[in-house]
Structure 1
């Protein structure tokens, strides 16, 4: 009897196929089972493929790295095996480049609260700006890339991060990977640098489209400032085509070309505020000194009854001859609401010079102490208010204009406007006319033509050491030097007004 031939009628045929992804970091296995053309799944056959067989197939394909035991367990226990991940390598990790983390917002429109009954559309635009010594951005240090490995145990190279040299532009410094502003202005950046532009330029009108301008450095408007708009400029301002029914504030020397109509202009910022406070405190000191002088006069001439105390006499003088002291004190307190210091004189005013607090003044020594405190604060303020901040303009009409330096009018002049200059008010045109209003300067007023033939009232005022010079002035022009006043009764020319050594007002003039 011959050797028995094995029955292969039930032998299961396996077709194994392995695929890879593009970088060979994943291998997928597909297994198809057949037995003599019949559907294998109709037969309840036992285990189809073993661990060793799977490893043999993987070795044939050269797969050595990242073989997944969980996949092997799945394959040998499941009859449907279609693109199952059998091995998984590691993809290379790309480098993380150094980058900038920008800490300021780009220009944007402010959110509008639609629930409000009244929306200020003039304030909906926002200009990104920074002050000096602000952190604008920081450098985020990246990482070099990490190599990968495919299922054949082959290295997949990555790369190092790029070398980026970050630089601080104008108005910036780079310290400990932080960009810090060295000036106020408009911040900007690119991939490698951060800088601060010291000027904001608007090549258009300031109107509802542009919104109000609030910028801590220089502002240049190559148009006009339209009705109802506001500019708050932290440094110098230039306006090309005039200002109309608007509010302008600038902290440094500025120029406004064109007409200023129905507007409020303040040039000087903190210096203007200091000068206003100096004027108010000087006025208060003068009044208190006058009370002392009156008291000494009455005492010297035995005009004070023996039963009248110093306290009562001071109160009588204040309530009879110096009724405006409380109003002046209120102005000083209001002015000091913007003060950066703790003003000792404000405490004294509140405790001894306002309303019923006058009863806290016990005598002449208290008034002398108040004068001493005022002198101390004036000394400090005068030291701080040495800056000269000028405004150059062409024409003003029905406007309030102030400058902590000179106001120079280069055009046709002024009409019914109020001007205040810490130093001088100067008209430079031979045909400039100042008609109506009130001009006040600390040192001098130098005008061409003041008033008109119909006698419109125009006031020109300087401090007691100042002077007024006018080429031509008409009747009803009022000249004030210190506390002395003169009203011109006839049109005159070549006018020079000042105080002489004894404090009398001097009017040098020729009849027109």
Structure 2
């Protein structure tokens, strides 16, 4: 007897009886059920089994994915399709092992329309920078940039071009540094020379992201061309109003007159005092004094003498047993401002105490208001009037500006106390109100000045900014700097004396094998560094001290979490 067979004729399942059971395998495009149970892969068929074969219909799919960039400036759309397929049952000749599969009767793809895609974008709130041509391409499938915002256009910043000295280029102002000790002469300009020019920038342009939201450009950097002493501004250009040395001081372009001496400062010249720059090609001899309204440049030595400047002090050779001060104006401004604030607080307290005595009935309002105020001043602040007299002498000698005008109001009021001339308490209140306004609105001069020196010994140096030792070092010298003290020569030595710099001391070799006491002081915000430090080197951070007991190298000290941290290696 032959083996059993199964087949499909005219879409109907047939069974031909035999000995060996036929095997039915399920292929693509159909679903097969035997006795009501769906067959997933294959099954042996019996004669009495009920076999049902159903052609599949696969619904098509349209896939649309959107990707918006993080800055919302670009939208990418990815379109793909899965086709609609309708199958029919394919006839098969009877056999013992039968693969049943469908034959494609109909196949189609329903694509998106451009309108549908645009509507989809609108639903996602994407309204700006729609690319219709790219959408038409996307209809066919694939990934396309279908919307793009307009980026904000950055502004062109203002620029100031300097035609002199330290600031040749505003964009890279640190790239040019004066070599103070190798420069023989200092820049000099004639009256009428163009010193600088401002190039106006352009404002940026607003942009929009794909959601139509405005994207603002950064603000243009607007620079001002400011004129200082000896300079005029015309049509965005700075011109020298006088012949002299140009420089930028407190962001203002200045030209200072220059006094040049081709000799020493000695008995032949006498003391030198000049409102502009002073350049001395000789030395400053014993007992003489040089005072400048701006910068002092000494090509020789300063020997048992005094050099005072409102600007920088540059000494190319040696400083011996002398005093140097750079930044006198700033120091005077700070001192005067503190004196005005102190006087204001004292007068306010005196007025308050007067008012209390009045309210308690211990005094009566009469013609002797000034006398009573003066008695309160003298009892609460003994001998303070003498201090005010000294302050008056200091301010009237050094100022001809708003500081002087403010102090005049204070001192005149004090004299009215003393002479019992003040008859009206409201006058005092009005003066105090004016002083308060001055204190709130006044900006202390920020015009840091530096000292540049090769070697110093047994001297005193003050700077309103930095002190830089460029040569072999200093011995038994006291230095005070509002910013930092730096020893730039790797072989420079610092032996003996005291250094105080608010933001840090950076030395090479400190102290000596003999144990010369050397004090390096800064604030708790400052830092102290030295390549080598010997015993008896004292490090101070405000009122906290640390003493080096044995020679060390690679010293770095700072204040942190309430204690002095000292990093060092044994020498």
Structure with max Cα Rg: 2
Using the size of structure 1 for normalisation, the TM-score is 0.45
Higher strand share: 2
